[in-house]
Amino acid sequence: MTEQHPFKWRHFQTDVILLCVRWYLRYSLSYRDLEEIMLERGLHVDHTTIYRWVQQYAPELEKRCHLHLKPTTDSWRVDETYIKIKKEWMYLYRAVDSEGNTLDFWLSSTRDGEAAKHFFVKTLSASHTSSPRVINVDKNAAYPKAFNDLKAAGIISERCELRQIKYLNNVIEQDHRFIKRLTKPGMGFFTFETAWRTLQGYEMMNRLRKGQVQGVAKGDVGGQVALVATLFGVAV
């Protein structure tokens, strides 16, 4: 996708494409639901076309919004939830700060020390995250191993503390529900790649909803619409 012409060769207007992509990523809708909604508006858009739009533009939305994320706090809550891909359960690692703002996410086929380590490194390298003062996790034994390895390597600060206190992770367990609710209408994903592309869009729209992007307050739906349009060079 070129920066100058993200909608080149598309047969529908760019505002229609962005509308379908935003609605799919923000609300609990299936592709067929959106096909019917568009038909009510006098637009004949096949559900497979909407699927292709989401696969194309969800990762692009995440990339373009990422540069505008607000800084997060140094108190992390880390956990993983389950995502079904081709009838098999995969693991979506997620982290939020003490205020419930999303730090980062990562999809993995495994739930072990290497997966936890990869996720920690990815989150640490994000431009909007602060070096953690404390990381709260559940009782999964993989987390202490990953934490200690990264601490020994100097990637995590010596001053950082790892805590395994269940009630402190309530905030991220509640945040999981929003993502899980979005995945249900589709009845799972067929490939790892399509799941990852879609999840990037889900997570970024969740951040927009929570007011994590500069210039858009929490609950400012009009601001969300305007920002997405601006980032894709569409007049509103």
Global pTM reads: 0.91
pLDDT of residue 166: 81
The answer to whether residue 3 is domain-embedded is no
The answer to whether residue 185 is domain-embedded is no
The CA distance from 49 to 236, in Å, is: 23
82 and 49: one domain?
no
29 and 114: one domain?
no
The answer to whether residue 82 is domain-embedded is yes
The answer to whether residue 184 is domain-embedded is no
The pLDDT profile of the chain, 236 residues, written as one tens digit per residue, is 445 566 655 667 888 999 999 999 999 999 999 999 999 999 999 999 999 999 999 999 999 999 999 999 999 999 999 999 998 999 999 999 999 999 999 999 999 999 999 999 999 999 999 999 999 999 899 999 999 999 999 999 999 999 998 888 889 999 999 888 998 876 679 999 999 999 999 999 999 999 999 999 998 999 999 999 999 988 66
pLDDT of residue 223: 94
151 and 124: one domain?
yes
157 and 88: one domain?
yes
When divided into structural domains, the chain yields a total of 2
The answer to whether residue 93 is domain-embedded is yes
CATH number of the CATH domain containing 143? 3.30.420.10
The answer to whether residue 9 is domain-embedded is no
43 and 89: one domain?
no
Contact indicator for 132, 160 with CB cutoff of 8 Å: yes
156 and 85: one domain?
yes
pLDDT of residue 236: 63
Query: Where in the sequence is the domain holding 19, given as residue range(s)?
Result: 14-69+191-231
The answer to whether residue 145 is domain-embedded is yes
Secondary structure (DSSP) of the chain: --SS-TTTT-SS-HHHHHHHHHHHHHSS--HHHHHHHHHHTT----HHHHHHHHHHHHHHHHHHHHTTBPP--SEEEEEEEEEEETTEEEEEEEEEETTS-EEEEEEES--SHHHHHHHHHHHHH-TTPPPPSEEE--S-THHHHHHHHHHHTTSS-TT-EEE--GGGGHHHHHHHHHHHHHHGGGTSBSSHHHHHHHHHHHHHHHHHHTT-BTT--TT-HHHHHHHHHHHTT---
